[in-house]
Amino acid sequence: MEKPPKSSLLKMVSKSIDLDWISDKRVSQLELTKPDGTSEIVNLKAGYDDEIFAGAWHHSAAIQNPNPGTYKLNVTAPDKGAYLLIARYQAVQVPELKYKLNAVGPKLNLKPQDSKDSVTEVTYQVQYYGDPQQGITSASKGLTLQQKTVNPTGQIELSKADKPGLYSVTYEISGATEAGYPYRRTAVQSIYIDADGNKYVN
């Protein structure tokens, strides 16, 4: 969780969307700006969390039959603070988009499993979390090694992943549906490199 910006963006094609704005302070309202430029105040149900997010406030709302496009969500809060936005998409059918990562030498080959023609680019980030065999390290919170944008069937470079241990590859997939609506999805892949340099993709 981090300090909230003025707004968050949602790109959606769905029957309905359930929103849960979780923050360390109770907010007074959420304003939703639709793709056509009109805005409305979202009806909220606020509740205090004393379990998983103990001490936080949940602000729940539902958007019925949203039109495809980009939605902008503005929050009114008494002060800056931490937040987490969870959006659950309710749809009759959601096409799957899967990628398979194969380790080849110092690289990972990107291989789209479904909807490959709709993908336009992939942006990835490689982080190092230390070697579990050596206990906690200074990089245990994640040290960013590489970040780059490649084509849909490109390769993730791991030349800087030269230490044994656990790595995380976060890749963001961008593209457009057959109807021409843009989408963006994020996936995370864990990789372990042993002392001999062998890579194990989880």
What CATH number does the domain located at 7-90 have?
2.60.120.380
Q: In tens digits, what is the pLDDT along the chain, a chain of 202 residues?
A: 344 444 444 444 568 889 998 988 888 888 999 889 999 998 889 899 988 888 899 999 988 888 888 888 888 777 788 888 888 887 655 555 666 667 666 667 776 665 556 677 888 888 888 887 776 554 444 556 666 777 777 777 777 777 888 888 888 888 877 777 777 788 888 888 888 888 888 7
Q: Which residues contact 74 (CB under 8 A, 6 or more apart)?
A: 6, 7, 30, 31, 32, 33
> Can you give the pLDDT at residue 144?
65
| 3-state SS string for 93-145 | CCCCCCEEEEEECCEEEEEECCCHHHEEEEEEEEEECCCHHHCCCCCCCCEEE
- Taking the C-alpha atoms of residue 124 and residue 16, their distance in angstroms, rounded to an integer, is 30
Range(s) within the chain of domains with CATH label 2.60.120.380: 7-90
Range(s) within the chain of domains with CATH label 2.60.40: 99-201
> Can you give the pLDDT at residue 191?
85
> Can you give the pLDDT at residue 146?
60
> Can you give the pLDDT at residue 15?
80
Residue 9: which of 69, 88, 61, 73 has the closest Cα? 73
For residue 194, CA distances in Å to 49, 135, 162 come to: 41, 15, 10
**In CATH, 99-201 is 1.10.150:** no
- Is residue 119 within 8 Å of 173, Cβ to Cβ? yes
The two structure tokens encoding residue 94: 């959601």
> Can you give the pLDDT at residue 30?
87
> Can you give the pLDDT at residue 1?
39
Coil vs helix vs strand at 9: strand
Q: Judging by DSSP bridges, how do beta strands 69-76 and 29-33 pair with one another?
A: antiparallel
- Taking the C-alpha atoms of residue 145 and residue 124, their distance in angstroms, rounded to an integer, is 11
> Can you give the pLDDT at residue 169?
84
> Can you give the pLDDT at residue 95?
54
